[in-house]
Structure 1
Amino acid sequence: MNDITGAVQDDGGLRAVLRALRTSPLPRCVLAVVVATEGSTYRKPGALIVLPAQGARVGWLSGGCLEAELEAAAADVLREGRARHLRMDTRGDDDLLFGSASGCRGVVELLLMPVDETSPLLAALRRLDTSARLELTLSADGAGEAANDTGSWQWPASATSAPGRWSLSLRAPERLLLLGAGPESMPLLRLAHLLGWSVEVVESRARWHAALTSADALHRDTAEVPALLETRRFAAAVVMSHHFSRDLAALRHAAAGEIGWVGLLGPIARRDALLAELDADLRARLLPRLQAPVGLRLGGEGPEAIALSIMAALQSRSGT
């Protein structure tokens, strides 16, 4: 039997869930979808958790206090082959003393659905990486539909009729483009994946390729950059080759493109020298989107600390 957890040990967030669901053929499992919340909750509507018949859960519902109840409910769903609406209420004193003991004072509602390789919902989720969003409509009896700009899917109820219908919008994992590589690349890739980002790298110098094997895509020809910026959906780019002319070319491409957040690695004097080489029009287009020097001031030095500061800046972007 395929193990859905083995391939996702270095991933986090929605990225980990989607990678687990790309296991082919997918073993029998339950997909839990947070459909509504009230008060203080660890996860919000649209969060996904995969609970396989065999193996470890992928994704979290809480800090651990609600997982036992969720796993027990998922076992029932697998045994019966029917969807289930689950409501967890931690607002009362009874829950604090005799229930989850979390003290979070919130309500989380989930729809648990059995899925396998033939499930239309699985097909829809496997296409989420190729589209910015997936619109879901789910009913308490397990029926639902999904749609994005690549197609639409529908599936029938798997349980008796029950009140409850929810509309959710799932956003695909954020996509990061690294223009150039250096000693920060490997820790940055690891941190980005743990935080749920997809990462593509453009680097033609062969000496860095061994450090980039975990990238979602490695582009070895810098001539590909204009096409990448035109055809891919990148939330952010970081210019980080440690080479002046390479970084200058990358900044020109980034300035001409539409990426809303561009980071530049290096000190202020180097930034100013690079900007002085840009045409006035390109410089004016780039400056509102540029963070340079890239990263938050967290303290520390060396590749790992720099990678952490870059990821912290990326996570703190408005809307992330």
Structure 2
Amino acid sequence: MDSFELLERVAASDVPLALATVSRVSGHAYRKAGAAMLLASDGSKFGSISPGCLEEDLQERVAALLEEGKPQIVTYDMRPEEDAVWGDAIGCGGVVTVLLEPVTGTLQALLNEARLRVSAGERLRLERSRSGEYIRYRLMPGGEEPRAADDGEAGLADIRLEPRPRLLLFGAGEDAVPICEAALRIGFLVTVADWRAGRATSERFPHANLIVGTADEIVRGAGLGSDDYVLLCGHQLRKDREMLEAVLPLHPVYIGVMGSRKRIDALFEGLQATPAVHAPVGLAIGADGPNEIAVSIAAELIACRASGAAG
């Protein structure tokens, strides 16, 4: 669950919620500090902070947590030499500290405020500080990596709250369908664009935004900017070239181009490729066929997104 979905879940929930945040990790763990999930009073769970080994224990704490209205800090020591049950059964071998807190009062109000601001394009950070038995919260600008808990603020880590990254997928051929589905699953907001109205349809891409038009019309309609991702898979040299000429001056964070090296050389003739260009697109994992190629592209998008967050 990405941070935007977390905010949407908080706003839409009609049952009390608890927020579980990974605050500190020592050794190996499934998620890093700042990863968060929601646990509902009716037993529902949204997101994950482990492969499933911690969620059941956290869920059992929710009822008492909501009744008391106070946050809890829970430490899971999964090193084999310290805890045979956790260590042998799970094999993670690390120590994970989790902050479990009721989504009420100030926290709930700030998360609802964050939803509106993030929807408008802001990047925020939810900061926590100790206030007796309770926690003070504030929203701060910035989308950098969350601050992990330190010794002075045991169990208090930041959460990064930011819009979903946007991917413009140009070319609505058959190979675009698994790419769109993969990008949606990893948290991208996808717009599928094509010059053919019969290809970019809601039946084929039910969860994507759709644009039909020329390259300039697509760029204007999508409102492309420097934070966006673009993938060219029109499979028509002239159409891909028109789109490439339209998006290069905008300096998007990522431009992926499908095709052979020979075709890519022809496509870029007279143009200057930037470090944002990934051509041929996708990580070199020996992918074959539309589904495997979609996996290689999704992996590259994840790597690009992670490097941008770290930067």
TM-score by length of 2: 0.80
Residues 304 and 132 of structure 1, relative CA distance in 2, 3 Å threshold: farther
Q: Distance in 1 between matches of 2:104 and 2:212?
A: 37
Residue equivalent to 1:106: 94
Letter in 1 for 2:109: P
Q: Distance in 2 between matches of 1:100 and 1:289?
A: 44
Residue equivalent to 2:49: 61
RMSD: 2.9
State, as a whole percentage, how many aligned pairs show the same letter. 31
Secondary structure of 1:199's aligned partner: strand
Secondary structure of 2:198's aligned partner: helix
Residue equivalent to 1:182: 173
* Contact residue 96 and residue 102 of structure 1 kept, 8 A: no
* Contact residue 34 and residue 160 of structure 2 kept, 8 A: yes
Residues 58 and 313 of structure 1, relative CA distance in 2, 3 Å threshold: same
Residue equivalent to 1:133: 123
The structural deviation recorded for 1:16 is 4.7
* Contact residue 138 and residue 165 of structure 1 kept, 8 A: no
* Contact residue 14 and residue 196 of structure 1 kept, 8 A: no
Secondary structure of 1:93's aligned partner: coil
Q: Distance in 2 between matches of 1:274 and 1:14?
A: 37
Q: Distance in 2 between matches of 1:198 and 1:19?
A: 14
Residue equivalent to 1:250: 243
- Identify the range of structure 1 (173-182 vs 259-268) with the bigger mean alpha-carbon deviation: 173-182
* Contact residue 179 and residue 202 of structure 1 kept, 8 A: yes
Gaps of 5+ in 2: 143-151
Residues 98 and 14 of structure 1, relative CA distance in 2, 3 Å threshold: closer
The structural deviation recorded for 1:319 is 0.8
Letter in 2 for 1:271: I
Equivalent in 183, 197, 205 of residue 192 of structure 1: 183
CA deviation vs aligned residue, 1:246-267 (integer Å, no higher than 9, x gap): 2111101221111132111122
Whether 1:293 aligns to 2:280 is yes
* Contact residue 260 and residue 289 of structure 1 kept, 8 A: yes
Residue equivalent to 1:86: 74
Q: Distance in 1 between matches of 2:135 and 2:89?
A: 30
The structural deviation recorded for 1:98 is 6.8
Letter in 1 for 2:69: G
Gaps of 5+ in 1: 1-11, 150-161
Whether 1:219 aligns to 2:206 is no
Whether 1:240 aligns to 2:229 is no
Aligned residues: 288
* Contact residue 229 and residue 258 of structure 1 kept, 8 A: no
TM-score by length of 1: 0.78
* Contact residue 13 and residue 194 of structure 1 kept, 8 A: no
The structural deviation recorded for 1:99 is 7.4
Letter in 2 for 1:44: K
Secondary structure of 2:204's aligned partner: helix
The structural deviation recorded for 1:77 is 1.5
Residue equivalent to 1:17: 6
Runs of 4+ aligned residues of structure 1 deviating over 6 Å after TM superposition are none
Equivalent in 139, 144, 163 of residue 137 of structure 2: 144
Equivalent in 112, 119, 122 of residue 123 of structure 1: 112
CA deviation vs aligned residue, 1:213-270 (integer Å, no higher than 9, x gap): 211x223344140464555731x21011222222111101221111132111122222
Residue equivalent to 2:268: 275
